[in-house]
Amino acid sequence: MITIAIDAMGGDHGLEVTIPASANVVDSHQQINLILVGLEAQIRKKLDQHRCANRDRISVQPASEIVAMDDPPALSIRKKKDSSMRVAINLVKDGVADACVSAGNTGALMGTAKFVLGTIRGIDRPAICAILPRITGSTYILDLGANVDVSPEILFQFGIMGSQLIESHEERSNPTVGLLNIGVEEGKGDETIKAAAELFKNSSLNYVGYVEADHIFMGGTDLIVCDGVLGNVALKASEGVAQFIMSVIKQEFTSSVFNKLSALAARPTLNAVKSRLDHRRYNGANLIGLNAVVVKSHGSADATGFRHAIEYAMKSSGSGLVERISQHIAARMETEAVRENASTA
Amino acid sequence: MITIAIDAMGGDHGLEVTIPASANVVDSHQQINLILVGLEAQIRKKLDQHRCANRDRISVQPASEIVAMDDPPALSIRKKKDSSMRVAINLVKDGVADACVSAGNTGALMGTAKFVLGTIRGIDRPAICAILPRITGSTYILDLGANVDVSPEILFQFGIMGSQLIESHEERSNPTVGLLNIGVEEGKGDETIKAAAELFKNSSLNYVGYVEADHIFMGGTDLIVCDGVLGNVALKASEGVAQFIMSVIKQEFTSSVFNKLSALAARPTLNAVKSRLDHRRYNGANLIGLNAVVVKSHGSADATGFRHAIEYAMKSSGSGLVERISQHIAARMETEAVRENASTA
């Protein structure tokens, strides 16, 4: 059995989304227990409103506070020690839960998780790793906003963590890794990215070189590494253009009676398109580099999206991800220590 | 009459694209002369293959060299003094042409244009300003790749240049200006962007605050300012996702006989969608901040795209853009000088 702690109060919609998603998950998966963390009376009341055949696999853990979406991370860590987010993370630390999922304030979630769970030894900074769709397969990308200033070493560690995530989640060994840059030629980019490229080249990672941002969706590289600013801009720009295109399609198919009729004929195909492009299927990003699995759901996710985030946490918690990263980093630190000793001897 | 110098050899497709586009432009617009710059025999031969009722408004200016798409900018400036790109820019400098258009190597074009034409007095760095579509209207965005490291002052100058471009091109006075960031809250971003925000706040620009990258396509801000790295990533990510979505639509509408039939019924609407999303309509980016109008076409543009870039140059060259920016910057320098004198008096 896998047990997941759910920050039931987090996100733009709180219980409206987390409760139906949780009910759906326990009814769809036999090997899972959920612990809903938050205001107990409200959670129980909401649970009673939802049909759930496997209610016995949902338990409630009371927590009296809620981290607001705009709470400063430092404040929420210091002052809200009984928040649903904090208590959910505590359950993971105490070994009661295998992983936790929250749609709450990203900065607070990352800060609290770092504080409570700690970072894997040898990893300087945890990162946010998401999965984005391609025509065939998908692209893993990190960091998506946790780290504004990064060093070449930190970018390289992102590469190690992302590669291990892919190996543990997908049937791809030795996944390809690219560095996001403003051109593919050698001389492109700033000093940080150039130094990072050297680290990647001289490593055991399957490094393929620089990639540009269109490559995220149209390329074939398994993992794309970047700092949190570029990752955020790439993700948000793509969300914006996807929304824009869907709006144009909707406008055109409703712009006249004839077009409405043609939309009727095309409806099954348009629905198939919509379903393939449904971003909710990609909801759930790993806060990677921590000593346990923490999954962030989009704050505005609906129940379908949040269900995907819980399922993603299930997959991650059974994958031995933390151990894999620990081993890889420990081996690297050892090699480096040997090399340093040799060079100073 | 407006005269535009065309780098006929530039871009991925050279004459295959520049010649039909030029023929089309002189036949569509009465008030325009084009000077095609490049290998004379080849240009004339290609011109003979295209129907053009107004051939008398196309002249040829010989240039014996071609800047390759991967030539290092510094090398092309120093060594290729008779390149089609350089000669086209010279024609603008000499007052023979009002503007020039090239689909060639971006770095070489920016470098050569800066070297030959010079930068407007008071402007530290020229930038690349493009126009991207929204549901209603369009968003101007700069910089798109010319400047990797920027200061707050340079970002602010981008704001002045972009605002003047919009005022001179569109019927929008006092356009709204946003700064691209990884969140809209005050504390977001690095020190550069925070200092830039202060400059914008204390200026006469219609500054609206930070915007995120989805806002480019879904927001309502007229101008978005960012450094060249973020601009490049936002643009490329959106190109990638747009291609991806179009591929999914195509795949789904051809995945079965039924779907092909529904595509037939929906074809007029799908064509309308395609036409609205056609990136060729947005081809043509201003190299802004120079002492003349230089327009960069996408290197891979086809004849339709390149025609749009020429038409964009026509619009720009009649708009008094350089004078507007000069006046605005001069006025600002004067105010600052007065303020400095006052504070030291």
How would DSSP label each residue in B3-22?
EEEEETT-SSSTHHHHHHHH
Structure tokens at B135: 């549901």
Q: Is B236 on the interface with A (CB under 8 A)?
A: yes
Report the DSSP pairing between strands A99-102 and A176-180. unpaired
Q: Do B134 and A244 touch (CB under 8 A)?
A: yes
Residue among A71, A241, A300 with most chain B CBs within 10 A, to mutate: A241
A312, HSE (Cβ side, Cα atoms, 13 Å): 26
CA–CA gap between residue A289 and residue A292 (Å, rounded)? 8
- Tokens found for residue A57: 């696999």
Q: Is the peptide bond before B143 cis (omega within 30 degrees of 0)?
A: yes
Report CB contact under 8 Å: B233, A182. Answer: yes
pLDDT for B344 = 67
Counting one residue from chain A and one from chain B, the pairs whose CB atoms sit within 8 A come to 182
Please tell me the pTM assigned to this model: 0.89
Task: Tell me the Ramachandran region of residue A68: left when phi exceeds 0, alpha when psi lies from -120 to 50, beta otherwise.
Answer: beta
- Tens digits of pLDDT across chain A (345 residues): 999 999 999 999 999 999 999 999 999 999 999 999 999 999 999 999 998 999 999 999 999 999 998 898 898 999 999 999 999 999 999 999 999 999 999 999 999 999 999 999 999 999 999 999 888 889 999 999 778 889 999 999 999 999 999 999 887 899 999 999 998 888 888 889 999 999 999 999 999 999 999 999 888 899 999 999 999 999 999 888 888 888 888 888 887 887 788 777 778 888 888 887 788 888 999 999 999 999 999 999 999 999 999 999 999 998 889 999 999 998 888 887 777 777 766
d(CA A295, CA A109): 9
In angstroms, the Cα distances linking A155 to A167, B126, B258 are 18, 31, 48
The residue of chain A nearest to residue B146, with distances taken between CA atoms, is A182
Q: How close A243 gets to chain B, by Cα (Å)?
A: 7
Under an 8 A CB cutoff, do B182 and A229 touch? yes
A230 in B contact zone (CB under 8 Å) = yes
Among candidate residues B260, B275, B213, the one with its CA nearest the CA of residue B238: B213
Residue count (chain A): 345
Collapsed DSSP state (helix, strand, coil) of residue A61? strand
Contact B55, B49 (CB under 8 A): no
Mutate to test the interface with B, among A70, A134, A186, A229 (most CBs of B within 10 A): A229
Cβ contact, residue pair B240, A217, below 8 Å: yes
CB-based contact, A192 to chain B, within 8 Å = no
3-state secondary structure of B311: helix
pLDDT tens per residue across all 345 residues of chain B: 999 999 999 999 999 999 999 999 999 999 999 999 999 999 999 999 998 999 999 999 999 999 998 898 898 999 999 999 999 999 999 999 999 999 999 999 999 999 999 999 999 999 999 999 888 889 999 999 778 889 999 999 999 999 999 999 887 899 999 999 988 888 888 889 999 999 999 999 999 999 999 999 888 899 999 999 999 999 999 888 888 888 888 888 887 887 788 777 778 888 888 887 788 888 999 999 999 999 999 999 999 999 999 999 999 998 889 999 999 998 888 887 777 777 766
Token duo for residue A285: 């990003």
Classify B163 as helix, strand or coil: helix
Of B149, B240, B263, the CB nearest to A266: B263
SS3 A173: coil
- For residue B272, list chain A residues with Cβ-Cβ distance below 8 A: 252, 255, 259
The conformation of residue A295, written as its DSSP 8-state character, comes to: E
CA pair distance A321, B74, nearest whole angstrom: 47
Q: Do B217 and A228 touch (CB under 8 A)?
A: no
What ipTM was assigned to the predicted interfaces of this complex?
0.86
Those residues whose C-beta lies under 8 Å from the C-beta of residue B323, and which sit 6 or more positions away, are none
DSSP H helices in chain A: 15-28, 40-48, 73-79, 84-93, 106-117, 152-169, 191-201, 215-218, 228-253, 257-277, 303-317, 321-344
- Across the interface, whether the CB atoms of B240 and A265 are under 8 A apart is answered no
Quote the CA–CA distance of B228 and B146 in Å, as a whole number: 6
CA–CA separation, A161 vs A157, rounded Å? 6
Structure tokens belonging to residue A282: 């990609």
* Whole-number pLDDT of residue A206: 96
**Is A220 in the B-facing interface, judged by CB distances under 8 Å?**
no
Backbone angles phi, psi at A144, to 5 degrees: -110, 30
Query: How far apart are alpha carbons B300 and A22 in whole angstroms?
Result: 49
Q: Assess B275–A contact: CB distance below 8 Å, yes or no.
A: no
Between chains, do B238 and A240 touch, taking CB under 8 Å as contact? Answer: yes
Contact list in A for residue B240 (CB cut-off 8 A) is: 213-218, 238
Whole-number Å distance between alpha carbons of B13 and A83: 60
The structure tokens 């904090």 sit at A86
- Chain A residues close to B268, C-beta within 8 Å: 258-259, 262
Q: Does A237 touch chain B (CB under 8 A)?
A: yes
Report the residue from B189, B229, B237 with minimal CB separation from A238.
B237
The whole-angstrom separation of Cα B87 and Cα B108 is: 13
Cβ burial, residue B42 (10 Å; 0-12/13-18/19+)? middle
